[in-house]
Structures are given as structure tokens and as C-alpha cells.
Amino acid sequence: MNCRTYPGADCDTDCQLLVATVKVRLAKRQRQHSILPLNLDELKEEKAVKFAAEVTNSFTALEAAQADVTPDLWKGTKTYLLEVARETIGCVKSQKKEMDI
């Protein structure tokens, strides 16, 4: 950083002028891993029945083991539902956009 003051500047003020050169270094932002969206169009077909059956079976098993309730019950339920959805329904495959030239 380089700076200089000009105390005798004629600009009708009692402050001193300051001129500075500053170099700014910006850090690279790290991206978080994005979660792929689920293919909800598959729920209209027969895979919806399979997904519902697996989720129902898991909740009946959880109900049977009611003594093992933890404070992270919602977090565990959410991760399980996403895992089952990814296995049965699948994710939307991203398509590369074509460039118009």
C-alpha cells in the first residue's frame, strides 16, 4: 500500500487530502457440493408403488423399535428418505446447454 497526504491543497476545507494506492487480493470461493434434484416424473409410474412400500416398511420397523428414539430422529429420517428416493426414483440427469453462435 502506498499513500501520500497533501496538506496544502486549496479546496476550502480544514482536512488534508489523502491519495492511496491499494492492491486487493480476492480469495477464490469454494463451491459446496450441490444436491441433485430427484426425478419426480418417475413417481407417476410403477416406481411410486415400490418407493411407497420401502418407506412404509422402514417406518413400521422404526415403530417396532420405539425405545431407540434419538434427538436426531428427523435427521435420520430425512437421510433415509433421500437414500431410498435416489435408489428407486433416481436423480434428474443434467443436460448440457448448447451454445448459440
CA distance readout (Å), 27 to 1, 24, 31, 32, 72: 18, 10, 13, 15, 35
In the predicted model, what is the mean pLDDT of residues 14-35?
A: 85
* The residue to which cell 459446496 is assigned: 32
- Let me know the angle formed at the C-alpha of 24 by 21 and 29, rounded to the nearest 5 degrees: 170
- Check whether 28 has a pLDDT greater than 60: yes
Backbone angles phi, psi at 18, to 5 degrees: -130, 130
State the pTM of this model: 0.51
Return the pLDDT at 21: 93
